[in-house]
Amino acid sequence: MKLALIFGGRSGEHDVSIVSARSVAAALGDGGHEVVPMAIDRRGLWATDDESLRVLKGSGNRADQALSFTGVHRLNPSLLNDSFDVAFPVLHGPFGEDGTIQGLFEMLDLPYVGCGVASSALCMDKVQTKRVLVSHDLSTAPWVTVKDHAWLTDPEALRRQALDLGLPLFVKPSRMGSSVGITKVVDGKTLDAAIATALRHDTTVLIEKGLEAREIEVAVLGNQEIRASVPGEVVPGGDFYTFEDKYVDDTCRLLAPAPLDQVMTERVQEVAVSVFDLLGCQGMARVDIFLEKTTGGLWVNEVNTIPGFTSISMYPRLWKLSGLAYPDLLNELLRLAIERHDNAHLS
């Protein structure tokens, strides 16, 4: 197949996207596919073929040579014409997994890997995701929402609502990933600063009550037939799973599979599949779930529709443990992309 591999992008997860794209390109290339890299810089400009290839062929676990192009241009739809069989977006965060680029693919009638427009947009927005989950009797951590204009108008009322949840609190942008902009608040005096940090990344802030819980992750795959991997567990190096834990300090531990008994394993998988189906996901997603330490209760944390995709990232690792090796996983995602596209044309 001829594939458009799209990476980089305007979000705070720009560097992470490059690292994921390198792994995907290497595996697909070794599998006989023709991979055409298409890099997007931090301004949203698309690189020339030569510049895209230069960045993709870089090395290291971090994309220290973040995209800084000399030959950039604005997107011309002819870049993604019908000469491609499938588009494979490896764009994390806003402008990548929020439905925006998925809408472009739909307009071009181009099959693409991952969730569709509506489910991508929904899962990117933590507040809206929680509202849908709660309306269908799926548990999430207690929360309040802070809008930027409301914070300017009546901060005291919002401050009281947040503190009434009880400390500790987690303050996070509603539409951001990889723990960017998240602060753990253990003292009410630091709440305002935490909200200000989150508002630098989004106009809507989610404030959640902290839970004494284990962080469980499940990789989910499929269109009509949905499969869940064995669960994994994240053991943060500090108070919670920060951006630095994930991509800089390497202080957290990823346990794969998670040390769970069979009954709990099946419960977690059932919740993950239910969430995937309820939110209209297709192709792939990673469902993150809190397992409360004292009660054994399950609380849905969030859904990541384009998870990290290096060969050692949690999503591919969990599928490898479930019997689906990295190259086979990528080929299955391509198959699912074409299947969904073909099914849409039957309706």
Among 9, 10, 12, 13, which one carries the catalytic annotation? 13
**Does the annotation mark 82 as catalytic?**
no
Among 98, 114, 288, 317, which one carries the catalytic annotation? 288
**Does the annotation mark 237 as catalytic?**
no
**Does the annotation mark 247 as catalytic?**
yes
Among 20, 174, 178, 313, which one carries the catalytic annotation? 178
In the 3-class helix/strand/coil scheme, how is the chain assigned residue by residue?
A: CEEEEEEECCCCCHHHHHHHHHHHHHHHHHCCCEEEEEEECCCCCEECHHHHHHHHCCCCCCCCCCCCCCCEECCCHHHHCCCCCEEEEECCCCCCCCCHHHHHHHHCCCCECCCCHHHHHHHHCHHHHHHHHHHCCCCCCCEEEEEHHHHHHCHHHHHHHHHHCCCCEEEEECCCCCCCCCEEECCHHHHHHHHHHHHCCCCEEEEEECCCEEEEEEEEEECCCEEECCCEEEECCCCCCCHHHHHCCCCCEEECCCCCCHHHHHHHHHHHHHHHHHCCCCEEEEEEEEEECCCCCEEEEEEECCCCCCCCCHHHHHHHHCCCCHHHHHHHHHHHHHHHHHHHHHC
**Does the annotation mark 302 as catalytic?**
yes
Among 241, 247, 315, 326, which one carries the catalytic annotation? 247
Among 304, 315, 317, 326, which one carries the catalytic annotation? 304
Using alpha carbons, select from 294, 295, 269, 287 the residue that is nearest to residue 133. 287
Among 10, 286, 317, 340, which one carries the catalytic annotation? 286
Locate 90 and state its tokens: 């490896």
Among 302, 315, 317, 326, which one carries the catalytic annotation? 302
**Does the annotation mark 292 as catalytic?**
no
How many Å apart are CA 231 and CA 269, to the nearest integer? 7
Residue 165 phi, psi (nearest 5) = -65, -30
**Does the annotation mark 64 as catalytic?**
no
Locate 179 and state its tokens: 């723990």
**Does the annotation mark 311 as catalytic?**
no
Among 52, 93, 308, 315, which one carries the catalytic annotation? 308
**Does the annotation mark 308 as catalytic?**
yes
How many Å apart are CA 74 and CA 58, to the nearest integer? 23
**What are the residue numbers of the active site?**
13, 178, 247, 286, 288, 302, 304, 308
